[in-house]
Amino acid sequence: MSDQDPAFTDPQLYTVVFENERVRVLEYRDQPGDRTHAHRHPDTVMVTLSAFRRRVSDGERSVEVSLPAGAVRWIGAQQHSGANVGDTPTHSFFVELKEAPGEHTAAVLGPQP
């Protein structure tokens, strides 16, 4: 676990619920007003269990995101911090991929000619 791992930077918000050699699944829960420290995610699939509104920031860049419950989103590898700027708790799962892009396909299909 690195010092930019969300389970390390914000263990009260992120919980590792499953891990093997190919993926790691984090459960995320927060309350309105909660903030995360800067952390890094590899390529990830996010599944929202509750609707939420949050501000995600990376240095000087910041964007507000509103998602409904039941949304499934691809999130490319990134570093950011976040804040729940809505009036509802956030509950979501992050399925983090451990392999490099294209690594599994190459292993299944074999080497390129």
Please name the amino acid found at residue 57. S
Start-end of H helices in 16-93: none
Burial 9-30 (b: 16+ CB within 10 A, else e): bbeebbeeeeeeeeebbbebeb
The number of folded domains in the chain is 1
CA distance 88 to 76: 25
pLDDT band for position 102 (cuts 50, 70, 90): low
Q: Is residue 105 part of a domain?
A: no
Q: How many residues does the chain have?
A: 113
Q: What CATH number is given to the structural domain containing 54?
A: 2.60.120.10
Whether the Cβ atoms of residue 101 and residue 43 lie closer than 8 Å to each other: yes
pLDDT band for position 97 (cuts 50, 70, 90): very high
pLDDT at 2: 73
pTM, rounded to two decimals: 0.84
Q: For the chain, what is the mean pLDDT?
A: 90
Q: Report the pLDDT averaged over residues 59-80.
A: 94
Domain that holds residue 83: 6-99
pLDDT at 3: 84
pLDDT at 35: 97
Q: Is residue 31 part of a domain?
A: yes
